[in-house]
Amino acid sequence: MKNFQKFILPVIILVIAGIAVTVAYNTGKNQKDEKLSELTEEVERLRAGEQEAAVVKRVSQQMEDIAYQQKAISDEQRDRAEEQSILAMQNAERAEKESRAAHEAEQKANVAAEEAKKERANAEEQQKIAEEQRDEATHAKNVADTLNIRTQARTLGVTSQVRRESNDTEVADLLAYTSWYFLKNYRGNQYFADTFKALMQAVGDPKRYRMRQNSAVNAISQVPGKERQCVIASNYGEVELLTANGSGRNSGGITSYTLLNNKIYDFRDVLATPQCVYALAQKSTLCVLGYQGGLSTVLLPEENYMKIIGVGNKLLLAGHQSLCWYESGMVSAPIRLPKELSTLVKRGNSICLFYADGSYAEMNLAGDVESKKPLIKGVVTAAHYDEAFECLLLGMKDGTVYPVNKYNRVVETLAAHRSKCASIAMQGATVVTGGYDKMVYVWHMDNLFFESGMNFREEMKARTVSAAQQHNKKEIPTEWLVPVDLNNNGWTLSVCGDYDKKSVWVGTSNGNVIFQNVSADDMAQQLHKRIKRNLTQDEWTRYVGFSIPYMKFK
In terms of pLDDT, which residue wins out, 236 or 55?
236
Tell me if the bond preceding 206 is cis, omega within 30° of 0: yes
Dihedral over Cα of 340, 342, 343, 349: its sign? negative
Q: What is the pLDDT of residue 387?
A: 93
Q: How far apart are CA 65 and CA 344, in angstroms?
A: 127
Q: How far apart are CA 536 and CA 543, in angstroms?
A: 10
Comparing C-alpha atoms, which of 261, 216, 263, 221 is closest to residue 242? 221
Q: Does residue 407 come out as left (phi exceeding 0), alpha (psi in the -120 to 50 range) or beta?
A: alpha
The 10s digit of each residue's pLDDT in 125-141 is: 888 888 887 877 776 76
Q: How far apart are CA 259 and CA 293, in angstroms?
A: 6
Q: Over the chain, what is the mean pLDDT? A: 86
Q: What is the pLDDT of residue 468?
A: 46
The pLDDT confidence band at residue 9, using thresholds 50, 70 and 90, is: low
The 10s digit of each residue's pLDDT in 286-341 is: 999 999 989 999 999 988 999 999 998 999 999 999 999 999 889 999 999 999 99
Q: Which residues of 386-396 are buried (b: 16+ CB within 10 A; e: fewer)?
A: beebebbbbbb
What residues contact 392, with CB distance under 8 A and at least 6 apart? 345, 347, 352, 375, 383, 384, 385, 386, 403, 404, 405
- pTM > 0.75: yes or no: no
Instruction: Reduce the DSSP state of residue 272 to 3 states and report it.
Output: strand
Does residue 479 surpass a pLDDT of 70?
Answer: no
* Full set of structural domains in the chain with CATH: 378-517 (2.130.10.10)
Instruction: Name which of 61-75, 231-245, 406-420 the model is least confident about.
Output: 61-75
CB 432 within 8 A of CB 440: yes
Spell out the long-range contacts of 58-63 with Cβ–Cβ below 8 A and sequence spacing 24 or more: none
Cα dist from 418 to 58, 435, 437, whole Å = 136, 8, 6
The pLDDT confidence band at residue 53, using thresholds 50, 70 and 90, is: confident
Instruction: Name which of 91-95, 180-184, 417-421, 546-550 the model is least confident about.
Output: 91-95
Cα dist from 407 to 81, 343, 390, 459, whole Å = 93, 21, 10, 11
Q: What is the pLDDT of residue 102?
A: 79
Dihedral over Cα of 62, 64, 68, 74: its sign? positive
CB 361 within 8 A of CB 345: no
The pLDDT confidence band at residue 233, using thresholds 50, 70 and 90, is: very high
